[in-house]
Amino acid sequence: MTRSPVAAHSAAPRRMRRTAEYVILGLGLLAALVTMGGFTLVINQLDQTDFAEIIAPALFGEGAGLDAAQTYEAGRTLAAWFGVSFVVMLLVSAVGIAHMRSRPRRRTPGWWFLAVGLICLLGSQLVLFPIAFLFFVVAGLFALRPVSEESL
């Protein structure tokens, strides 16, 4: 029995759209760029005197017990940590997006976005939990959306 091309075309699985995941992921990456990238950029542009006058009182408080050189070094270390974490987040997100585009019916990209959320959470030292929550929502959408039998 031969199948007509029309019947073969209609039997092909429908392409699954992941619009909500793309939008939430884009918002999370944009928010991470503004917060983590912005903090890194600002701290790396300041010299020690400007840092001691502007940033150190807000970041460490008045009675931190650290001198200007120690606070400057601590701020630069924190900025470097944020910057490296952001770059790692982008790399892992790129892998997740590649998996999401190639096989949108699979749940594998959810694991990558869960990793992005954990990197954001731990890389920001638990400060950016609202942004990490966006990545956890994306991972959850991959876990909860129905998957057809032929894509497994």
Q: What is the pTM of this model?
A: 0.79
pLDDT at 54: 82
Question: pLDDT tens across 127-139, in order?
Answer: 999 999 999 999 9
The two three-digit tokens of residue 122, written as one number = 């731990």
Average pLDDT value for the chain? 83
Q: Name, in order, each residue with C-beta under 8 angstroms of 68's C-beta and a sequence gap of 6 or more.
A: 48, 49, 51, 52, 56
Question: pLDDT tens across 141-151, in order?
Answer: 988 876 554 44
- Residues listed for the chain: 152
Q: Average pLDDT, stretch 81-101?
A: 94
Alpha helices in the chain, H assignment, sequence order: 5-11, 19-32, 38-45, 48-50, 56-60, 68-102, 108-123, 129-144
pLDDT at residue 10 greater than cutoff 90: no
